Chain A
């Protein structure tokens, strides 16, 4: 699980072009949206694509994303349970 969390942080930084940010800057329980990393709605769509591309998880209802993308912890837990690759 720790390796997955590290991988997620690296992927998020790369995919969402979070310049001058390193994995160490993101705590596992940091809010990804709102007051946390300040991600926006386009970032949310990018995360949905990332789940599909990297882990074979297709979110059919974007509203599910709200809980899944709350933090690195929630993302890692969801991916561990649902990944197909």
Chain B
């Protein structure tokens, strides 16, 4: 199968207090803080997954963006799904890394939180999504200075053409302090209406 046979089946964006799916706004909220916004989004999307509240900020963002996409896929979460995950960002898990660092800063008050520490890697958010949707396939989390459509395109095509996965959930999920959050995730497979090209990925990301 050549590269041109793959398609962007659906895409989701969460930024500027808005959640959109395939270009249409699903939810918007005037909450000033990210924490209030993401909680309002969770309730609006009727997610019902208590572990969400234990996640760090990056995982909450990635989890909800993935949830918006995957709940329309009607996956059987009782069996394994061969969907790979390829994520990227620039801040890695820096927001949580800082929280952990603060908790070990003072030797007189040295109480690192295990619940914070377990999120001091960016790819933990991939695990959260994989657990919920039973995604048993390849996964990678890349760190770039900026959104890198080139790399995501090439890597996804490689996974699909080598039959490593039936579909790829990929994109950019970034959280670095309250006012800097953005998720842009999309599903690539051999079905869909938008051709999987670097240009289309870039266009959708910038929408």
Are A and B co-members of a single complex? Answer: yes
Q: How far is the CA of A53 from the CA of B112 in the complex (A)?
A: 10
Determine whether the beta carbon of A17 is less than 8 Å from that of B54.
Answer: yes
- Contacts across chains A and B counted by CB atoms under 8 Å: 27
Q: Which of B18-68 contact A (CB under 8 A)?
A: 50, 52-54
Contacts of A43 in B (CB 8 A): 115
Question: Which among B52, B111, B118 is the interface contact of A42 at CB below 8 angstroms?
Answer: B118
Kindly state the separation between the CA atoms of A25 and B115 in the bound complex, as whole angstroms.
23
Chain A residues touching B, majority SS: helix
Chain B's interface size range is: 10 to 19
Contact of B111 among A16, A18, A19, A53 (CB under 8 A): A53
Bound CA–CA A46/B54 (angstroms): 12
B50 touches A49 (CB 8 A): no
Main SS class of interface, B: helix
Contacts of B180 in A (CB 8 A): none
CA distance A52 to B52 in the complex (A): 26
Cα of A19 to Cα of B54 in the assembled complex, Å: 9
For B53, give its contact among A19, A38, A45, A46 (CB under 8 Å). A19
- Are A46 and B50 in contact, with the CB atoms below 8 A? no
**Separation of A5 and B36 alpha carbons in the complex (Å):** 30
Q: Determine the distance from Cα of A46 to Cα of B114 in the docked complex, in whole angstroms.
A: 6
Within 8 A of B (CB), among A1-37: 16-19
A16–B54 alpha-carbon span in the complex (Å) = 7
By a beta-carbon cutoff of 8 Å, the part of chain A in contact with chain B is: 16-19, 38, 42-43, 45-46, 49, 52-53
User: What residues of chain B have their CB less than 8 Å away from a CB belonging to chain A?
Assistant: 50, 52-54, 111-115, 118
